[in-house]
């Protein structure tokens, strides 16, 4: 009997201690939170709560999490390009532009370009090499930031001065000096590609199309009759600093 009384007293003490443990319950939005102390937290959805009604959402609502994309206000872009004509003309060039943010995803680009052209129709045909120095002017549409990759597109116009470095013709199997001319041209262009953030810079890879219009009067046009080529398609790679 004595042992039974002691056992009952012990069980009663345990129950009493458990009953003295204080659990705080409070509502946080649509949830009930049970807080038993630091590090001991439980929560559950309140009874009869519909999250769509609580947050006034429709069944087809898409929740978009916005990232803090900070557009670059101005920067310098340096790129190299290689292109080819559908005949035998090729070009290789360098370009550096200052990029100025205008509005939202719109940028204005202006700078300086240097390009070398080479036409080689083979051992028994004419050769021509050209140099062009231009001022590319472009409007570019696309996101430009260090937080995410993006696509871009640009339309531009490049006034340029050109000069013939060398020109040779083949007449009756013998090479003779060709016509060398210098002058000015205008080259409309289209660019399309992508921006990839790499550390503190942005890698830029794209393709371009360019059409060269000779603005120097005369009977001999080095870009048509001289074989230097007018329409070029190519690839471009560079960095935005």
> What pLDDT tens digit does each residue of the chain (241 aa) get?
665 556 556 666 655 555 455 567 777 778 888 877 776 778 787 888 887 777 777 777 676 666 678 899 999 999 999 999 988 899 999 999 999 999 989 999 999 999 999 988 766 567 899 999 999 999 999 999 998 999 999 999 999 999 999 988 877 667 778 889 999 999 999 999 999 999 889 999 999 999 999 999 888 999 988 889 999 999 999 999 9
Distance between CA atoms of residues 59 and 82, nearest Å = 52
CB 158 within 8 A of CB 113: yes
Distance, C-alpha 134 to centroid of its chain: 24
What token pair was written down for 46? 């309140």
CA angle 235, 129, 97 (to 5 degrees): 40
3-state DSSP percent of the chain in helix, strand and coil, to 5 = 10, 60, 35
């Amino acid at each position: 009997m004595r042992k039974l009384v002691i056992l009952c007293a012990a069980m009663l003490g345990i129950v009493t201690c458990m009953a003295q443990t204080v659990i705080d319950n409070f509502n946080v939005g649509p949830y009930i939170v049970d807080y038993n102390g630091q590090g001991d937290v439980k929560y559950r959805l309140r009874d009869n709560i519909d999250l769509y009604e609580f947050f006034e959402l429709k069944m087809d609502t898409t929740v978009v999490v916005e990232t803090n994309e900070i557009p670059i206000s101005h920067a310098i872009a340096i790129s190299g390009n290689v292109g080819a004509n559908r005949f035998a003309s090729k070009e290789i060039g360098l370009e550096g532009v200052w990029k100025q943010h205008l509005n939202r995803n719109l940028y204005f680009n202006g700078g300086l370009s240097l390009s070398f052209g080479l036409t080689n129709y083979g051992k028994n045909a004419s050769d021509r090499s050209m140099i062009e120095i231009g001022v590319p002017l472009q409007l570019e549409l696309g996101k430009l930031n260090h937080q995410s990759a993006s696509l871009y597109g640009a339309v531009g116009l490049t006034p340029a001065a050109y000069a013939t470095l060398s020109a040779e013709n083949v007449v009756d199997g013998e090479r003779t000096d060709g016509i060398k001319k210098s002058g000015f041209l205008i080259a409309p262009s289209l660019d399309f590609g992508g921006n990839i953030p790499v550390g503190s810079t942005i890698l830029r890879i794209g393709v371009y199309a360019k059409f060269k219009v000779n603005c120097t009067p005369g009977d001999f046009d080095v870009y048509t009759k001289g074989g230097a080529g007018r329409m070029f398609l190519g690839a471009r790679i560079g960095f935005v600093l």
